[in-house]
Structure 1
Amino acid sequence: MESSSYAVGDLRVSDAEREPAIERLQDAYAEGRLDHDEFDLRMHLAMTAKTRNDLASVTRDLAPVPGAVAHGVDAPPQTGEDRMLAAAAHAIAVPTLFVGPLVLMLVSGKRSEYVRRQAREAVNFHITLLLVTIVTFGVGGMLYAVAWILSVIAALFALTGQTFRYPWILRLVKE
């Protein structure tokens, strides 16, 4: 039986791994470090990158965004406690809306960036839902059935150490 090993940089890249690179490119463009043509080219390269090395080459010469977390090899592994707290941040949002995840983000997020990131995602999701419900005079409240399902899915992702990003939300709470 033949065994093959790949360097970490040769591994295929996922959409979740592309997001931080795309955000870094957008920040660099907004700061004026990239002109429009170079931004377009790098965005195309980031979206079509096949390996981690391909993706890293797109942002290698850009300084890291202050306070940003390195996604990938340099990120410390999550402990079982981190995964449980991150899952709790998503699950506790069902009865408490954004208050429970906010408390977890402020308390446990100081110790673990993974918990902070997942709790922040839950806070943003439930604030978005609350705003939709207010703007639609309560009609948006029907979305809470979907929100509970998404919260359970996000909690399961967090338990396995994966990052979950809710679709179509306002990301009001940042670093």
Structure 2
Amino acid sequence: MDASSAFQDSLPVSSDALLAQLTEWGLNYRLHEHAPLRTVEDSKAVEDQFMVPGENALRVKNLYLRDKKKRNYLVTLEQNREIDLKGLGAALGVGNLSFGSPDRLMQNLGIRPGAVSPLAMINGVNNDVRFFMDAAAQEAEVIYMHPLVNDRTVAMTQADVMAFCERIGCEVTWLP
């Protein structure tokens, strides 16, 4: 199974259910459907199709990480930000980090590789996943991310993303 909406019914929370929940909570989003995007490069190839010119938007990349004590982290960064896992571990104060396995990703965030997103914290909060977000998100008007599948992208205002986090009880730790 891949991370597209064709298999969303096998997820703990489907993309459709997530979008319905966002609507029920009064959180606004613009939904864009597209071919499955697996990498930042894939995303860059199609983002012009749905980006609004002049919009102060943050396009993100997301990392599901674990430390040696088997603690889980979701780290959301501006898509062009360079990553040094050793430096990131030091910045988070957690030591060495490594990427979590696809099985652990499903177990802890309820998604498959290629669909990692802040919205996966709807599952992560119940599994003690800590959420870190690039401080650049504080300056963005809109944040683009996957709604648990990689053939859809939602654009949400930064305020609505923060309201989502508050609604699900997710603490956001800002990364400078």
TM-score by length of 1: 0.30
Q: Higher relative contact order by CA 8 Å / sep ≥ 6: 1 or 2?
A: 2
Report the TM-score when normalising by structure 2.
0.30
Structure having the higher helix fraction is: 1
**Greater Cα radius of gyration, structure 1 or 2:** 1
> Which is richer in strand?
2
